[in-house]
Amino acid sequence: MRVIAGEFKGRALAAVPGKGTRPTTDKVKESIFSMIGPYFSGGVALDLYAGTGGLGIEALSRGVERVIFVDADAKAVSVVKGNLEKVQATEKAEVYRNDAARALKALTKRDVKFSVVFLDPPYAYQKIAAEMAILQDTGLLADGCWIVAEHDTEFKLGEQIADCVLQKQATYGDTTISIYRYEPKGEAQE
């Protein structure tokens, strides 16, 4: 597993030990960023089920200004911190050990609006639509925010979740990537 492009291109990232975390493959990561970027000029990202931190670190490498990483697993949080040290990006990141629901509740108390959100929960825990609704209802999404949902191919998400509109979808074996764009009040975004 490595950083695909940008400032940290080619740097290897550690995986979380054990079978509890399913890292996003380089092929899928490359596909995600070709669909939503491939590069960014600033903005804040949320990696809600961080695992190794690979998606958030890739976003930092490609120009996102800051990333908030959240994972409930202590081993994953430790790996994210180690990977951030490897790419020398600790000052551009916040890493929290928390479950997704509590993290979202805590984030609503801050003055933050995300331009990119990565939702890659364990396949047995599929509350993506509910979490997207919370992100919208609590004002955590900037207009035009990209929401990247990685989920089991058997799990179906709607064409629209409130003001988040499905833009692209790609399937890789048992993994599907659903890319949404936050378009408040149904206004089309460029």
> What pLDDT is recorded for position 190?
46
Rounded Cα gap, residues 170 and 153, in angstroms: 10
Helix, strand, coil abundance in the chain, percent, nearest 5: 30, 30, 40
- Give the E-state strand segments of the chain in sequence order: 44-47, 66-71, 93-97, 114-119, 141-152, 160-161, 164-172, 175-182
> What pLDDT is recorded for position 33?
95
Rounded Cα gap, residues 27 and 53, in angstroms: 16
The domain locations on the chain are: 28-165
Encode the chain (190 residues) as per-residue pLDDT tens digits.
Answer: 899 999 999 999 999 988 777 778 888 899 999 999 899 999 999 999 999 999 999 999 999 999 999 999 999 999 999 999 999 999 999 999 999 999 999 999 998 999 999 999 987 777 999 999 999 999 999 999 999 999 989 888 999 999 999 999 999 998 899 999 999 974 544 4
Query: Hey, which CATH number is domain 28-165, 3.40.50.11540, 3.90.1520.10, 3.40.50.150, 3.40.50.300?
Result: 3.40.50.150
Cβ count near 42 (within 10 Å): 9
> What pLDDT is recorded for position 24?
83
CB distance 65 to 44 below 8 Å: yes
